[in-house]
C-alpha cells in the first residue's frame, strides 16, 4: 500500500510548464487535459478522422508484428476490437532500452493500460493500450545499458543506425546478471526472461517485443513498430508537405515563441526539415535549394526519388507524434514531463496536417522505499517531501534557521535596513549625490551581512557534520546515483523480491485522473 501520494503541483522538481498545464493555467492547452468527458469527446472527433480502411491496415500490421509471439486471450480480443469503429487507443512510447532500462519504462506502460481500462469501464466504447516501439532512434549509447542496486549492465553494438535493426551479437551481460539475481525469490524468472529476449541473432526490436510481451501480455497490451512501409505510406502527403514547405518549423513557431518567452526554452527546437533518411545509418535531410541532401552521406535526391520508397523516411522526435496519431485511432498519449513539453509545441502543426491532437497525460512517478528507510526518515525530523526537492538548499536553510546567531544576524540586518530607509528619506531632501552615497553605503553593509551568513553556514556545517552526513546518506537511499529512483534503477530490483505481485500493486496504485508521485514500501 502507498505511504504517500504527492500531486505534481506540490513537488519542487516538476517543471513549471507541467504544473501550469495540470492546473489548466494555459488557456490554449486546456482542451488537451485528460478527463473522462474530454476523452469521450476526443473519441468522437477521432471517429470522424480515422477510416475503416486505416483500421484494416493497422490490424494487418499488428497481426504481422505479433505473429512470432504467443498472444494472450485479451491481446487477441483487443486485435479484433480494433476493427470496430467504436474502439480507440491509449498510447505510450519509449526507446528500446536494454532489459527496459530505468523502471519508469514499466510505470508508463502500466498507466497506459490502466487508463484504457478506466475508459472502457466508464463508457460504451472500447479502448486498447498501445506501446509504440521507438525502433528508429539512432542513439544506441542511450539505450545499451541498465542499472540495478549492485550492478551496471551493458551490451555492445554499432551506433548510428536505427537501433531496432541492430543484431544482438554480444549478450555477455547475462552471465553477471544471473550472478546477481540467482538467489532472489523471483530471480530465476528474471534470468530466464533476459535469456529468452536477448538471444544472439535477434534484433533489438525482437528482443524488446519479447520482453514487453512476457511482462504485459495478460494486460492486453499491443505493441506497434513504426518502421513499417504500410504505416509510412499513410504519411506520404505529410512527408511531402514537410519536405517541400517545412510545415513543422513554420507552424510550431507561435507555440515555440510563447513557451520560450514564458518558460525560458522549449524541449526540442524544430528544424527546417524534421525528417531523417534511413540506410545503414539514420541521417538528417536538408534541402540545398535544388536537391535534398543526406547529412554526412554522399547522397542527394529529388522529391520524386524520395517518394519512391517512404519506408526510408523517418520522423524525428517532433514529427513522430504526428505519425503516431495518423496511423492509430488514438485519443490520449501518456508520457514523461519532457515528452509532454515537446508535444505542446505541436498543436498547430497537427491542425495544418489535418490530424487530431490527443489528450496529454504526464505520467505518474513511483518511489519504493524499504521500511527501515521510511523509519529513518520519520526519526530524522525531516519531512519526506523535503527529500524530494533541492536537498542541499533545504539543508542550508535548515542549518541557518536553527542557528541562534543567524536569528540575531537577521534581526540586526532588518534593523539596519530600517535605519538606512530613514536616512535615505532624509537624504532625499538634500543633494542627489548625498542620497546616492547613502544608498552605496547601505549596499556595502548589507553585502557584509551576506558574507557573515556564508561564513556562519560554513561554521554550522562543521559543527553539525555528523547530522549532515547522516541526512545526505539518507538522501542517497531515496535518490540512488543522485537521481530519481525511477530514472536510475531497473525493474528487476523490485520484481526479484515480489514478482508479478509487484506489477499488479503498481497497476492498482496508478492514478488515472491525477499526475502524482506515489511512495510505497517494499
Buried-exposed string 1-24: b where 16+ CB fall within 10 A, e elsewhere = ebebebebeebeebbebbbebbee
Model confidence pLDDT, tens digit, residues 291-319: 999 999 999 999 999 999 999 999 999 99
Least confident of 87-96, 120-129, 160-169, 402-411: 402-411
Q: What is the DSSP letter of 33?
A: B
Name, in order, each residue with C-beta under 8 angstroms of 512's C-beta and a sequence gap of 6 or more.
111, 114, 115, 118
- Maximum distance among all Cα pairs of the chain, rounded to whole angstroms: 90
pLDDT more than 70, % of the chain? 93
Please report which confidence band the pLDDT of residue 110 belongs to, taking 50, 70 and 90 as the band edges.
very high
Q: Under a CB-based contact definition with an 8 Å cutoff, are residues 252 and 318 in contact?
A: yes
| Domain presence at residue 397 | yes
Residues 222 and 115 in one domain: yes
How many Cβ atoms are within 10 Å of 286's Cβ, its own excluded?
14
Note whether 162 and 56 are same-domain residues. yes
| Mean pLDDT, range 65-71, rounded to an integer | 97
pLDDT beyond 90 at 113: yes
Evaluate whether residue 167 is within a structural domain: yes
**pLDDT for residue 405 is more than 90:** no
Q: Quote the number of domains for the chain.
A: 2
Q: Is residue 309 part of a domain?
A: no
**SS3 readout for 206-265:** HHHHHHHHHHHHHHCCEEEECCCHHHHHHHHHHHHHHHHHCHHHHHCHHHHHHHHHHHCC
Q: How many CA atoms lie within 13 A of 33 on its CB side?
A: 19
Collect all residues with Cβ–Cβ distance below 8 Å to 429 and sequence separation of at least 6.
Answer: none
- Provide φ and ψ at 70, rounded to 5°: -85, 105
Whether residue 399 has pLDDT greater than 90: no
Check pLDDT > 60 for residue 409: no
Q: Where are the beta strands (DSSP E) in 8-115?
A: 87-94
Task: For residue 273, count CB atoms less than 10 angstroms from its CB and return exposed for 0-12, middle for 13-18, buried for 19 or more.
Answer: buried
Same domain, 439 and 467: yes
Nearest CA-CA partner of 3 in 269, 334, 371: 371
First-residue to last-residue Cα distance in the chain: 9
- Is 234 among the domain residues? no
pLDDT at position 434 is 76
Each residue of 121-147: pLDDT tens digit?
999 999 999 999 999 999 999 999 999
- What confidence tens digit (pLDDT) does each residue in 419-468 have? 777 777 877 777 777 778 867 877 887 777 677 667 755 766 666 667 87
Q: Do residues 471 and 496 share a domain?
A: no
What pLDDT, on a 0 to 100 scale, did the predictor assign at position 250?
Answer: 97
Asked, for residue 303, whether it belongs to a domain, the answer is: no
User: At a CB cut-off of 8 Å and minimum separation 6, what does 252 contact?
Assistant: 270, 318, 345, 346, 348, 349
Q: Say whether both 90 and 163 belong to one domain.
A: yes
Phi then psi for residue 217, to 5 deg, are -55, -45
Q: What is the pLDDT of residue 459?
A: 61
Q: CA–CA distance from 368 to each of 8, 517, 521 (Å)?
A: 17, 11, 5
Q: Give dist(CA 365, CA 28) in Å, integer.
A: 26
The predicted-structure confidence for 276-295, as pLDDT tens digits, reads as follows: 999 999 999 999 999 999 99
State yes or no: pLDDT of 408 exceeds 60.
Answer: no
Pair 25, 105 in one domain = yes
100 or 422, which is more confident? Answer: 100
Do residues 517 and 457 share a domain?
no
Instruction: Specify the pairing of strand 222-225 against strand 282-287.
Output: unpaired
Domain holding 449, by residue range, is 383-482
Given a contact cutoff of 8 angstroms between Cβ atoms, the answer to whether 316 and 306 are in contact is no
Cβ–Cβ under 8 Å, residues 68 and 197: no
Adjacent-strand bridge partners of 131: 92, 223
pLDDT tens, position by position, 320-351: 999 999 999 999 999 999 999 999 999 999 99
Residue 472 has pLDDT above 90, yes or no: no
- Three-state SS string over 345-387 comes to CCHHHHHHHCCCCCEEEECCEEEEECHHHHHHHHHHCCCHHHH
Q: Of all residues in the chain, what percent carry a pLDDT higher than 90?
A: 81
Residues β-bridged to residue 365: 517
Domain-located, residue 251:
no
Q: How many whole angstroms separate alpha carbon 209 and alpha carbon 253?
A: 37
Q: 192 to each of 177, 178, 217, 462, how far by Cα in Å?
A: 11, 9, 17, 51
Name the one residue in this structure whose C-alpha cell is 517518394.
307
130 membership: H or E segment, kind and range: strand 126-133
Q: What is the 3-state secondary structure (H, E, C) of 154-202?
A: ECCCCCCCCHHHCECCCCCHHHHHHHHHCCCCCHHHHHHHHHHHCCCCC
- pTM score, two decimals? 0.90
**Is residue 476 located within the same domain as residue 496?**
no
Question: Same domain, yes or no, for 446 and 494?
Answer: no
pLDDT of amino acid 416: 63
Q: Is beta strand 275-278 parallel, antiparallel or unpaired with respect to 516-521?
A: unpaired
Residue 193 belongs to some domain of the structure: yes
Domain assignment present for 157: yes
In this structure, the number of other CB atoms found within 10 A of the CB of residue 47 comes to 16
pLDDT value, residue 428:
78
Residue 95 pLDDT = 97
Same domain, 477 and 494: no
In which band, very low, low, confident or very high, does the pLDDT at 413 lie, cut at 50, 70 and 90? low
Is residue 14 located within the same domain as residue 112? Answer: yes
Q: Contact 202/280 with Cβ under 8 angstroms? A: no
* pLDDT digit string, tens, across residues 193-228: 999 999 999 999 999 999 999 999 999 999 999 999
Mark whether 432 and 506 lie in a shared domain.
Answer: no
List, for residues 478-493, the tens digit of each pLDDT value.
Answer: 999 899 999 999 999 9
Amino acid at each position: 500500500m502507498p505511504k504517500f501520494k504527492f500531486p505534481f503541483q506540490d513537488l519542487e522538481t516538476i517543471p513549471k510548464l507541467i504544473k501550469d498545464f495540470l492546473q489548466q493555467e494555459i488557456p490554449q492547452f486546456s482542451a488537451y487535459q485528460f478527463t473522462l468527458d474530454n476523452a469521450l469527446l476526443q473519441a468522437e472527433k477521432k471517429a470522424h478522422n480515422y477510416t475503416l480502411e486505416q483500421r484494416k491496415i493497422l490490424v494487418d500490421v499488428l497481426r504481422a508484428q505479433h505473429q512470432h509471439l504467443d498472444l494472450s486471450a485479451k491481446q487477441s480480443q483487443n486485435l479484433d476490437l480494433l476493427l470496430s469503429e467504436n474502439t480507440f487507443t491509449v498510447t505510450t512510447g519509449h526507446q528500446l532500452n536494454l532489459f527496459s532500462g530505468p523502471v519508469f519504462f514499466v510505470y508508463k506502460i502500466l498507466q497506459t493500460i490502466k487508463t484504457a481500462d478506466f475508459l472502457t469501464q466508464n463508457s460504451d466504447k472500447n479502448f486498447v493500450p498501445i506501446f509504440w516501439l521507438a525502433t528508429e532512434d539512432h542513439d544506441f549509447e542511450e539505450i545499451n545499458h541498465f542499472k540495478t542496486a549492485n550492478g551496471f549492465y551493458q551490451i555492445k553494438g554499432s551506433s548510428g543506425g536505427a537501433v531496432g535493426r541492430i543484431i544482438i551479437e554480444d549478450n555477455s551481460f547475462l552471465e553477471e546478471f544471473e550472478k546477481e539475481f540467482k538467489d532472489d525469490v523471483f530471480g530465476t524468472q528474471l534470468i530466464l526472461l533476459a535469456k529468452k529476449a536477448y538471444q544472439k541473432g535477434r534484433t533489438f526490436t525482437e528482443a524488446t517485443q519479447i520482453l514487453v510481451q512476457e511482462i504485459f501480455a495478460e494486460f492486453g497490451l499491443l505493441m506497434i513498430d513504426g518502421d513499417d512501409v504500410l504505416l509510412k505510406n499513410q504519411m506520404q502527403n505529410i512527408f511531402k508537405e514537410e519536405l517541400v514547405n517545412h510545415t513543422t518549423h513554420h507552424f510550431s513557431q507561435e507555440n515555440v515563441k510563447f513557451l520560450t518567452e514564458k518558460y525560458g526554452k522549449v524541449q526540442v527546437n524544430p528544424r527546417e526539415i524534421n525528417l531523417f533518411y534511413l540506410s545503414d545509418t539514420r541521417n538528417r535531410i536538408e534541402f540545398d535549394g535544388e536537391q535534398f541532401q543526406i547529412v554526412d552521406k554522399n547522397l542527394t535526391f529529388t522529391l520524386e526519388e524520395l517518394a519512391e520508397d517512404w519506408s526510408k523516411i523517418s520522423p524525428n522526435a517532433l514529427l513522430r507524434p504526428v505519425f503516431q496519431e495518423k496511423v492509430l485511432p488514438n485519443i490520449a498519449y501518456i508520457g514523461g514531463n519532457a515528452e509532454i513539453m515537446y508535444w505542446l509545441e505541436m498543436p498547430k502543426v497537427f491542425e495544418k496536417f489535418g490530424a487530431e491532437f490527443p489528450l496529454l497525460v504526464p505520467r505518474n512517478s513511483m518511489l519504493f522505499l524499504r521500511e527501515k528507510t521510511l523509519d529513518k526518515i520519520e526519526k530524522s525530523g525531516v519531512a519526506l517531501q523535503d527529500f524530494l526537492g533541492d536537498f542541499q538548499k533545504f539543508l542550508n536553510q535548515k542549518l541557518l534557521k536553527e542557528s541562534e546567531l543567524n536569528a540575531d544576524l537577521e534581526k540586526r540586518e532588518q534593523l539596519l535596513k530600517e535605519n538606512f530607509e530613514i536616512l535615505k528619506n532624509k537624504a532625499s531632501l538634500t543633494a542627489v549625490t548625498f542620497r546616492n552615497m547613502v544608498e552605496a553605503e547601505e549596499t556595502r553593509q548589507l553585502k557584509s551581512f551576506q558574507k557573515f551568513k556564508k561564513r556562519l553556514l560554513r561554521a554550522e556545517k562543521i559543527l553539525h557534520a555528523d547530522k549532515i552526513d547522516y541526512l545526505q546518506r539518507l538522501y542517497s537511499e531515496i535518490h540512488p546515483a543522485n537521481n530519481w529512483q525511477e530514472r536510475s534503477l531497473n525493474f528487476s530490483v523490485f520484481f526479484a523480491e515480489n514478482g508479478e505481485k509487484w506489477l499488479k500493486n503498481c497497476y492498482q496504485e496508478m492514478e488515472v485522473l491525477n499526475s502524482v508521485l506515489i511512495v510505497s514500501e517494499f
